[in-house]
Chains A and B, each alone.
Chain A
Amino acid sequence: MALPTRSRRRLRPSAPLPIVILASAGAAFFIIPLLGLLLRTPWASAWQQLGSAEVLAALRLSLLASLSATAIALTLGVPLAWTFARLTFPGRSVLRALTVLPMVLPPVVGGVALLLAFGRRGLVGGWLATTFGVHLPFTTAGAIIAETFVAMPFLVITVEAGLRSMDTRFEDAARTLGASRWTVLWRVTLPLVRPSLIAGAVLCWARALGEFGATITFAGNFPGRTQTMPLAVYLALESNPDAAIVLSLVLLGVSLAVLIGLRDRWLGAS
């Protein structure tokens, strides 16, 4: 007897049929490839693949590099987003377009551009090398730079949108209460755009974690030093597709866990 009531209740927020069909197709579009990956996973040898030193090194490096890239993106990207959202100055729209360019630029091209800037013969790379003895290509720092380059725009755009949609009168209120601009930023602005900050950081991190093209182009591929998970997956595809699938699943699992965890805890999703 309880069943009809329950099903009726479940149907209450009814959606138009075309929406249901298209949404289902949209969801299937994402789910089916993942299913393909899962079904082809050689579960028997999976643990053995995972335990290998090379995989662990790649996983460790991936986490280190993507988190470092996110930290750099927060440090530099939030001020940039604030600048775009709050200041007007000549050339702002051009500068803004330039900073989000890596989102549309093929990452390999981004990697080449980074080489031309920070490489041995690059615009500032030579100076870095002679002045500080810093070499970025073929180093972990280079991998971090490459990931930051590609991932930071996601943070900038998200935070900028958050700053733009925020009610700036809260900042006015804070200032009339005697808060300096710096205090306003720390105690009012950033807390108010916290959802955007977190969303931007997560997007940025996820993009950095999956980064391939710019990293392999700029930092090269060396196990333990610059071979992040995506690079390991790509190279495994050449020799050992089974291992590639297992590696991809690890990457998927880690990012899924973090994304779901973050949503529940910070983004207030039900």
Chain B
Amino acid sequence: MTLEARVGAGVAAFEIDVELAVAAGELVAVLGPNGAGKTSLLRALAGLLPLRTGRVILDGVVLEDPAAGIRVPSERRPIGLVFQEYLLFPHLSVRENVAFGLRARGMARAIALGEADRWLERVGLSGEGDRKPASLSGGQAQRVALARVLALNPALLLLDEPMAALDASTRIEFRRDLRRHLESFRGVRLLVTHDPVEAMAMADRLVVVEQGRVLQSGTPADVTQRPRSRYVADLVGVNLFRGRASQNVITLADGGSLTAAGAADGDVFAVVHPRTVALYRTRPDGTPRNVWEGRAVDLDLGGDRVRVRLSGIPSIVAEVTPAAVRELGLDRGDQVWVAVKATEVSVYPA
């Protein structure tokens, strides 16, 4: 079971163009900020938003191909979609909600209701079938929504921010359950989220989307170690630079340069972890170091560390201990020297 899709779609002026390939057994998370086009991507895959260009192929069956004039309507796609806001039908009982898809596919009412009860038991809601959705907690509602979709045994399971509407404590519990259900699910699984923790915790592979385009794709480890966008760099909390390397010196696109050990020549990304950035009142001596002068524009205490945002060429964020801040007598607006060891600059091709 595989999904191969290239989705070119849009709502009015907002266009997305995303290429995806998901293998069976793989859980892919589409990660991106709000408004990146993640929901449009899911709606397009589900047939709720027509493609302008591209193709959707599931298990070798073309679901949509505008160039060939092929478009399988939503209701005939073997796809299940779990929505952020659950979207349980408020006029139907929990049991009838779960049975809805089975009934729509022609299953007799009594059998469908029995099946629904079995699924409710599986998601830990046995005996709650007669309740109305409005009386459920968020976590319960999302379980019902999950059962409603899983009961149809879809070939492709789409999860649109399934935990975004849950409160923090429910979320942890639901995530555990969701992971369990996803593990036993045999089809193709695609999770959309703006929450990096959720994405990293659940997914085998991340697809980072921003402004309707794929910026990066890879295992969570790969993506966090080698961010290729400011969005991911900010999520991971590292300094990301882009530039051109030549003989271990990277000329940065936004001004300044960094010396790095063992950088291949060409266009590169350079990552510097804030903890490896050292600050001094006077110019430090020493050997292969990147040293430049910057001005502290912001100090932010987080945990046992102080994040110092420095403006200079280049601008950078440092994380130092509160003790270090006291020793330096560092305050907002102060000039300081910034030092980064060449060995702490990790470089990879852009």
Is there any pair of Cβ atoms, one from A and one from B, under 8 angstroms apart in the complex? yes
Which of B79, B89, B91 contacts A176 (CB under 8 A)?
Answer: B79
Of A170, A176, A177, A183, the residue contacting B48 (CB under 8 A) is A176
Task: Give the nearest-CB partner of A175 in chain B.
Answer: B74
A179 to B46, CA, bound (A): 13
New contact pairs (8) apart from A172-B48, A192-B89, CB-CB < 8 Å: A172-B43, A176-B47, A176-B79, A177-B80, A177-B101, A177-B149, A180-B104, A191-B89
C-beta contact mask, B87-99 vs A, less than 8 Å → 1, else 0?
1011110000000
Residues of B within 8 A of A179 (CB): 75, 100-101, 104
Return the chain B residue nearest A172 by Cβ.
B48
Interface residues of B in 60-81 (CB under 8 A from A): 73-77, 79-81
> How many angstroms from the CA of A254 to the CA of B74 in the assembled complex?
48
CB distance from A264 to the nearest CB of B (A): 19
Question: What's the least CB distance linking A88 to chain B, in Å?
Answer: 13
Most buried by A among B80, B90, B101, B104: B104
Q: Is the CB of A169 within 8 A of B83?
A: yes
Q: Chain A 156-200 against B: per-residue CB contact (8 Å), 1 yes, 0 no?
A: 000000000001011011111111110100011001101000000
A174 touches B104 (CB 8 A): yes
CB contact between A173 and one of B76, B79, B87, B105 (< 8 Å): that residue: B87
- Give bound CA distance, A179 to B77, whole Å: 11
Binding site for B on A (CB under 8 A): 167, 169-170, 172-181, 183, 187-188, 191-192, 194
Question: A169 contacts which chain B residues (CB < 8 A)?
Answer: 83, 85, 87
A186 to B148, CA, bound (A): 19
Contact flags (1/0) for B313-348 with A, using CB distance below 8 Å? Answer: 000000000000000000000000000000000000
Provide the B164-184 mask, 1 if CB < 8 A to any CB of A, else 0: 000000000000000000000
Question: How far is A220 from B178 in the complex, measured between Cα atoms in Å?
Answer: 69
User: Which residues of chain B come closer than 8 Å to A178, judged between CB atoms?
Assistant: 75-76, 101, 104-105, 152
Minimum CB–CB distance from A115 to chain B (whole Å) comes to 43
Does A180 lie within 8 Å of B43, measured CB to CB? no
Quick one: closest B residue to A177, CB to CB? B101
Are B148 and A170 neighbours in the complex by a CB distance under 8 Å? Answer: no
In the bound assembly, the distance between CA atoms of A30 and B89 in angstroms comes to 40
B103 CB to nearest chain A CB (Å): 8
Report how far A191 CA is from B80 CA in the complex, Å. Answer: 23
A168 to chain B, nearest CB (A): 10
B11 to chain A, nearest CB (A): 14
**Complex CA–CA separation, A178 to B104 (angstroms):** 6
A-B contact pairs, 23 of them (CB 8 A): A167-B87, A169-B85, A169-B87, A170-B89, A172-B43, A172-B46, A172-B74, A173-B81, A174-B89, A174-B104, A175-B73, A176-B47, A176-B48, A176-B74, A177-B80, A177-B100, A178-B152, A179-B104, A180-B104, A181-B75, A183-B104, A192-B89, A192-B90
